[in-house]
Structure 1
Amino acid sequence: MILRSIALASTLALAPVAASANWQLDPSHSAVVFEVEHLGYSNVTAVFPEVAADIESFDPENLENASFSVTIDAGSITTFWDARDEHIRGGDFLDVANYPEITFVSGEITRTGDDTAEITGDLTIRDVTQPVTLQAKINKIAPSPMNPDQQVAGFTLTGEIDRTEFGVDAYAPAIGTVLPVTINVELNNEG
């Protein structure tokens, strides 16, 4: 769910940019979004708006050596319905009082095309760590039209997460267990 910036940062390695670049997540143009099936009647959309990313190494000539980590504020989750959000933050689901963060640490990055990559890493929810694979697409890497000295990189990552693998198994399977995840990310580089 929160894998977004992490996987996106890795994808940067697919574009021709400087290895020493100081890339930072632009939280105003990034979101981790997922859906949960509700009793077969509908899908509920959820968003984690508070995400931080550390890009520890990045070399476009050596993609496999890129590494990054992402931290998501689990309590920031919103489904746009306050009572449901409080329930999800509670012990049945995320238990944010005991597990306030969700993290992703990158592992292997494999180029799959000119503007695509597969990113694997370790996702931790409620102190349970499982391997996760995301498909990444580079949308665009170019100077900002508002500040030509600033490079901007945009990515979309997609994948699925089985919440029960992380001990988040309340009401399964009536409430969906496999969650489709879409992560839209922008990164900025001031040079």
Structure 2
Amino acid sequence: MKKLLIATAISGAALMTSVAQAATYDIDNEGAHASINFKIQHLGYSWLTGRFNDFDGSFEYDKAAPEDSSIEVTIDTTSIDSNHAERDKHLKGGDFLNVKKYPTATFKSTDFKSTGEGTGEITGDFTLHGVTKSITFPVERIGEGDDPWGGYRAGFMGTTKLKLSDYGIDYNLGPASTHVEIELHVEGKRQ
């Protein structure tokens, strides 16, 4: 009887541990099911849009306990792509990203707060151009479920606006161009 109680207690503890832990998802950038896009006004006359082609990361997520969610992303800043080679060369240079000195940007979450069914605010440390600041931005769950290949996936999006001078980037493109808008779209494969 004593052995049965111990075995039951161990099984129950293992079950509770597995239920309480969020699943790990790798961001599916190989299948091009994730993107990091940006847009900034150019002189106040038009929008310049682009993306970062190379990045990697993962996130933790459990629909039953969204407060336990977290994400880590590393962006290869040398992969900036505004669909114009000469402009990309300028963006990679000392006036903007200075990719020789700062070849990566990173985001590591420190907190997640649910704001409703499938929505929340994520807070974390964002490092760009050698400067780290805590930022908070809204996120939305797009969907989740089984994929056709026997796996399980979940997808999210989030947007934020960054003041360039907060990160030591103060090249003057006019008063309408002091901030850049970032969109993060991720689809993760559960591990």
Query: Which structure has the larger Rg?
Result: 2
Residue 130 (structure 2) aligns with = 127
- Asked if 1:51 is matched to 2:55, the reply is yes
By how many angstroms is 1:160 displaced?
0.9
By how many angstroms is 1:43 displaced?
0.4
Residue 29 (structure 1) aligns with = 33
By how many angstroms is 1:20 displaced?
5.6
Q: Work out which structure has the larger RCO, using CA pairs closer than 8 Å and 6 or more positions apart in sequence.
A: 1
**Residues 97-136 of structure 1 aligned to structure 2 (within 5 Å):** 97-136=100-139
Q: Identity percentage over the alignment?
A: 33
Judging by fraction of residues, say which structure has more helix.
Answer: 2
Number of equivalenced pairs? 171
TM-score, with length taken from structure 1: 0.82
Q: Secondary structure at the match of 1:98?
A: coil
- Asked if 1:167 is matched to 2:171, the reply is no
Q: Secondary structure at the match of 1:83?
A: helix
Q: CA 1:21–1:70 in 2, change beyond 3 Å: closer, same or farther?
A: same
Distance 2:20 2:26 in 1: 14
Could you tell me which amino acid in structure 1 is paired with residue 86 of structure 2?
Answer: A
Q: CA 1:59–1:44 in 2, change beyond 3 Å: closer, same or farther?
A: same
Residue 45 (structure 2) aligns with = 41
In structure 1, runs of 5+ residues without a counterpart are 1-16
Asked whether the equivalents of residues 19 and 60 of structure 1 are also in contact (C-alpha less than 8 Å), the reply is no
By how many angstroms is 1:174 displaced?
4.7
Asked whether the equivalents of residues 58 and 188 of structure 2 are also in contact (C-alpha less than 8 Å), the reply is no
TM-score, with length taken from structure 2: 0.82
By how many angstroms is 1:172 displaced?
4.7
Distance 1:52 1:134 in 2: 20
Distance 1:155 1:117 in 2: 11
Q: CA 1:175–1:81 in 2, change beyond 3 Å: closer, same or farther?
A: farther
